[in-house]
Amino acid sequence: MLKEYNFDLSSRNTFRMKARCACFVEYGSVDELYSIDFDSLPKPVKHIGGGSNLLFTGDFPGTILHSAIKYVKYVDLGLDEVPVVVGSGVVWDDLVAELCGHGLWGAENLSLIPGEVGAAAVQNIGAYGVEIKDLISGVSCFDLQEKKPCKFSVGECAYGYRESMFKESGGRYIITSVLLRVSRVPRPRLEYKGLAGVDPSSPGAIRDAIIAIRRTKLPDPEETGSAGSFFKNPVITAADFVRVCDAAAPGSIVPHYVLDGGMIKVPAAWLIDQCGFKGEKEGGAAVYEKQPLVIVNATGSATPGDVLELERRIIATVHEKFGVELHPEVEHI
Ligand code: EPU
Q: Does 79 lie in the same domain as 199?
A: yes
Q: Report the pLDDT averaged over residues 29-58.
A: 96
Which H or E run includes 20?
strand 20-27
Domain boundary among 168, 184, 216: 216
pLDDT for the residue 154: 98
Q: Does 193 lie in the same domain as 101?
A: yes
CATH number at residue 25: 3.30.43.10
pLDDT for the residue 106: 98
Which one-letter amino acid corresponds to residue 72?
V
* Partners of 26 in beta bridges: 2, 66
> Relative to the CA of 162, which ligand 1 atom is closest?
39
Q: Does 183 lie in the same domain as 88?
A: yes
What letter does residue 102 receive in the DSSP assignment? Answer: T
pLDDT for the residue 77: 85
Q: Does 109 lie in the same domain as 56?
A: no
DSSP for 147-199, written as a single string: TEEEEEETTTTT-BTTB-HHHHTTS-EEEEEEEEEEESS------STT-TT--
Q: Does 150 lie in the same domain as 59?
A: no
* Partners of 174 in beta bridges: 142
Helix (H, G, I), strand (E, B) or coil at 314: helix
pLDDT greater than 90 at residue 78: no
Q: Which residues line ligand 1 (CB under 6 A)?
A: 127-128, 228-229, 232-233, 255, 267, 269-270, 273, 291-293, 329
Q: Does 326 lie in the same domain as 309?
A: yes
Q: Does 311 lie in the same domain as 272?
A: yes
Count CB-CB contacts under 10 A for residue 61: 12
Whole-angstrom CA distances from 312 to 274, 282, 322, 326 are: 16, 11, 15, 10
pLDDT for the residue 309: 98
Which one-letter amino acid corresponds to residue 158?
A
Q: Does 198 lie in the same domain as 77?
A: yes
96: Cβ contacts below 8 Å, ≥ 6 apart: 107, 108, 110, 111, 112, 207
CA geometry: angle 129, 132, 138, nearest 5 deg: 145
CA–CA separation, 116 vs 49, rounded Å? 6
Closest residue by Cα to residue 189 from 109, 243, 245: 109
The C-alpha R_g of the chain, in whole angstroms, comes to 20
72 in Cβ contact with 93 (< 8 Å): no
CATH number at residue 317: 3.90.78.10
Q: Does 168 lie in the same domain as 98?
A: yes
Residue 88 among the catalytic residues: no
pLDDT for the residue 38: 94
Helix axes 238-247, 304-322, angle to 10 degrees: 90
Q: Which of 131, 229, 280, 311 is labelled catalytic?
A: 229
Domain boundary among 193, 216, 239: 216
Residue nearest to ligand 1 atom 34, measured at CA: 229
φ and ψ of 210, to 5 deg: -65, -40
Q: Report the pLDDT averaged over residues 229-250.
A: 96
Q: Mind spelling out the 3-state secondary structure of 60-90? A: EEEEEEEECCCCEEECCCCCCEEEEEEECCC
CA–CA separation, 112 vs 98, rounded Å? 13
Q: How far is the CA of 233 from the centre of ligand 1 (A)?
A: 8
Q: Report the pLDDT averaged over residues 228-253.
A: 96
pLDDT for the residue 10: 95
10 in Cβ contact with 17 (< 8 Å): yes
Average pLDDT over the chain, rounded to whole?
A: 96
CATH number at residue 137: 3.30.465.10
CA–CA separation, 109 vs 89, rounded Å? 21
Q: Does 88 lie in the same domain as 63?
A: no
pLDDT for the residue 316: 98
- Residue to probe by mutation, ligand 1, list 193, 217, 270, most atoms within 8 Å of CB: 270
Q: Does 300 lie in the same domain as 261?
A: yes
pLDDT for the residue 325: 98
Q: How far is the CA of 106 from the centre of ligand 1 (A)?
A: 21
328 in Cβ contact with 301 (< 8 Å): no
Residue 226 among the catalytic residues: no
Domain interval for residue 24: 2-67
60: Cβ contacts below 8 Å, ≥ 6 apart: 9, 19, 20, 21, 22, 46, 333
pLDDT digits (tens, 9 = 90+) for 103-135: 999 999 999 999 999 999 999 999 999 999 999
Q: How far is the CA of 17 from the centre of ligand 1 (A)?
A: 24
pLDDT for the residue 156: 98
Give the rounded distance of the alpha carbon of 206 from its chain centre. Answer: 20
Q: How far is the CA of 27 from the centre of ligand 1 (A)?
A: 35
Q: 228 falls in which pLDDT band (50, 70, 90)?
A: very high
pLDDT for the residue 193: 85
Q: Does 260 lie in the same domain as 327?
A: yes
- Total count of domains within the chain: 3
Q: 247 falls in which pLDDT band (50, 70, 90)?
A: very high
Residue 229 among the catalytic residues: yes
pLDDT digits (tens, 9 = 90+) for 160-217: 999 999 999 999 999 999 999 999 999 999 999 889 999 999 999 999 999 999 999 9
Domain boundary among 184, 216, 248: 216
pTM greater than 0.85? yes
φ and ψ of 290, to 5 deg: -90, -15
Count CB-CB contacts under 10 A for residue 6: 10
